[in-house]
């Protein structure tokens, strides 16, 4: 009896608030009956479980009814409630108002944890690194392949990330950048001060330049580094260190970039249609990182994210579309659109739709339908037939990017004699 009390106390201490364990026994089991009764039938399954090094406290205490209903249940595996709710009754691990939450926390704790026992600490179903790699393989692969590795990544993702949720930061970070980084990297160390040219980087966002998961560039800068950064020529764009203006660039907007990229900028501006982002908002910095980036051109992220910041409706249309257009799925908006400017509407890289679509699709194999400048669109004397006569490139709610609910409806727009 004493041992049970001690176990219960331990559970309270380890798993606050242990409401389920502390609750009065609703089944009025005879003394010593709990667990033992279950094991009478389930010993074959549970004996190997109980031998594992990390056993879930209720299992260890044979309190099976802490999670399972012994007679009947509305939930699978005769659970007393929905799985997540059962876990949450003891494990209050998700912040009340999280800035970020780990998706498996929403979908089910058993994605990562074994509710009975495990060979790994915290009842994880796999070794921590292997477990994270199950979903985050590219990140872990990059970290493994990186020439310059970040020590904590080699140890355990939870050094920096809270696997359940973060009350303070995005990306499940235990605290915001740079506070998280400066916890280990003392920014007043002479070598770090020298590396950063004396700029007050202790308050800057480290991940604007450094890849925290490792990289192939010395200093763990992202793989694509802006040459002035690589050459430690911060003063080319910024006021000198110690300036009362802090990190403020010497010039605002496109004027600063034009200092080096005059030819590129001039060619952009010399087009019929200049992308709004080139002239508006933060100009170049609306899409590009000024220091370093994972992707070519130092684009701030996947194009679906970067372009979707303004063109959310268009991205959403693809998401809702029954048929997906691969370049959008792959985040390759620039396959069709020039992000700086174009002489064609919609900033298309080629004004001719057949030529543009033909860069990926061999339409002559795709269809025997007449297409091209010699075939007038029967619906409109000013149009000739092209791919966009029948398809919408960002998708529709109908199959094959069809603008109309059925193929019949589409075809009979022109072939009216077949209309019923």
> Which stretches of the chain bind other proteins, using CB under 8 A?
271-274, 276, 279-280, 309-314, 317, 345-346, 377, 379-383, 389, 403, 413
CA distance 146 to 223: 10
CA distance 206 to 363: 48
Closest distance of CB 211 from other proteins, Å: 26
The secondary structure element, H or E, covering residue 225 is strand 224-225
In the bound state with other proteins, the residue whose beta carbon lies nearer, of 136 and 273, is 273
Closest distance of CB 170 from other proteins, Å: 17
Strand partners, 342: 273
CA separation (Å) from 20 to 63, 90, 94? 10, 6, 18
CA distance 232 to 194: 10
Closest distance of CB 381 from other proteins, Å: 6
In the bound state with other proteins, the residue whose beta carbon lies nearer, of 156 and 270, is 270
DSSP assignment, residue 308?
A: H
- Identify which of 95, 94, 90, 109 has the alpha carbon closest to the alpha carbon of residue 17: 90
CA distance 105 to 10: 25
Closest distance of CB 377 from other proteins, Å: 6
The secondary structure element, H or E, covering residue 341 is strand 341-342
In the bound state with other proteins, the residue whose beta carbon lies nearer, of 194 and 320, is 320
CA separation (Å) from 35 to 7, 59, 66, 205? 14, 8, 10, 53
SS (HEC) of 99-143? CEECHHHHHCHHHCECCCEECCHHHECCCHHHHHHHHCHHHHHHH
In the bound state with other proteins, the residue whose beta carbon lies nearer, of 361 and 379, is 379
Closest distance of CB 33 from other proteins, Å: 59
Angle subtended by helix axes 137-145 and 128-135, to nearest 10: 120
Closest distance of CB 390 from other proteins, Å: 10
In the bound state with other proteins, the residue whose beta carbon lies nearer, of 174 and 311, is 311
- CA atoms 315, 177, 164, 121: torsion sign: positive
Closest distance of CB 380 from other proteins, Å: 5
As given in the structure block, the two tokens for residue 224 are: 């694509």
In the bound state with other proteins, the residue whose beta carbon lies nearer, of 131 and 256, is 256
Closest distance of CB 310 from other proteins, Å: 5
Closest distance of CB 403 from other proteins, Å: 6
C-alpha 345, offset from chain centre = 32
In the bound state with other proteins, the residue whose beta carbon lies nearer, of 272 and 368, is 272
In the bound state with other proteins, the residue whose beta carbon lies nearer, of 358 and 403, is 403
Residues 6+ apart with CB under 8 A from 202: 178, 182, 187, 188
In the bound state with other proteins, the residue whose beta carbon lies nearer, of 292 and 315, is 315
């Amino acid at each position: 009896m004493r041992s049970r009390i001690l176990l219960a106390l331990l559970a309270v201490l380890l798993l606050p608030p242990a409401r389920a364990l502390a609750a009065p026994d609703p089944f009025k089991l005879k003394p010593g009956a709990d667990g033992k009764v279950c094991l009478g039938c389930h010993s074959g399954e549970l004996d190997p479980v109980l031998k594992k090094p990390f056993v879930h406290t209720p299992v260890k205490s044979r309190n099976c009814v802490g999670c399972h209903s012994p007679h009947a249940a509305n939930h699978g595996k005769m659970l007393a409630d929905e799985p997540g709710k059962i876990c949450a009754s003891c494990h209050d691990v998700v912040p009340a108002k999280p800035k970020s939450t780990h998706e498996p926390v929403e979908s089910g704790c058993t994605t990562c944890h074994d509710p009975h026992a495990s060979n790994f600490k915290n009842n994880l179903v796999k070794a921590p690194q292997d477990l994270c790699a199950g979903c985050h393989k590219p990140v872990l692969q990059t970290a493994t392949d990186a020439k310059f590795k970040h020590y904590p990544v080699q140890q355990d993702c939870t050094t920096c990330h809270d696997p359940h949720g973060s009350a303070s930061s995005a990306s499940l970070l235990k605290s915001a950048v740079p506070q998280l980084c400066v916890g280990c990297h003392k920014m007043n160390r002479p070598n770090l001060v020298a590396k950063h040219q004396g700029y007050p980087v202790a308050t800057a966002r480290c991940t604007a330049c450094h890849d925290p998961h490792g990289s192939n560039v010395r200093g763990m800068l992202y793989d694509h580094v802006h040459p002035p950064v690589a050459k430690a020529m911060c003063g080319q764009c910024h006021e000198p260190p110690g300036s009362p203006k802090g990190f403020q660039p010497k010039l605002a907007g496109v004027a600063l970039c034009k200092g080096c990229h005059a030819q590129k900028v001039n060619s952009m501006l010399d087009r019929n249609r200049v992308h709004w982002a080139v002239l508006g908002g933060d100009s170049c910095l609306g899409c590009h990182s000024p220091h370093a980036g994972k992707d070519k051109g130092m684009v701030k992220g996947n194009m679906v994210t970067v372009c979707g910041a303004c063109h959310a409706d268009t991205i959403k249309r693809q998401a809702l579309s029954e048929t997906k257009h691969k370049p959008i799925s792959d985040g390759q908006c620039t396959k069709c659109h020039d992000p700086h400017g174009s002489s064609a509407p919609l900033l298309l890289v080629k004004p001719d739709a057949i030529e543009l679509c033909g860069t990926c699709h061999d339409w002559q194999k795709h269809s025997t339908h007449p297409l091209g400048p010699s075939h007038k669109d029967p619906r409109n004397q000013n149009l000739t037939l092209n791919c966009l006569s029948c398809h919408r490139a960002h998708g529709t709610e109908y199959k094959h990017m069809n603008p109309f609910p059925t193929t019949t409806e589409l075809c009979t727009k022109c072939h009216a004699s077949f209309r019923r």
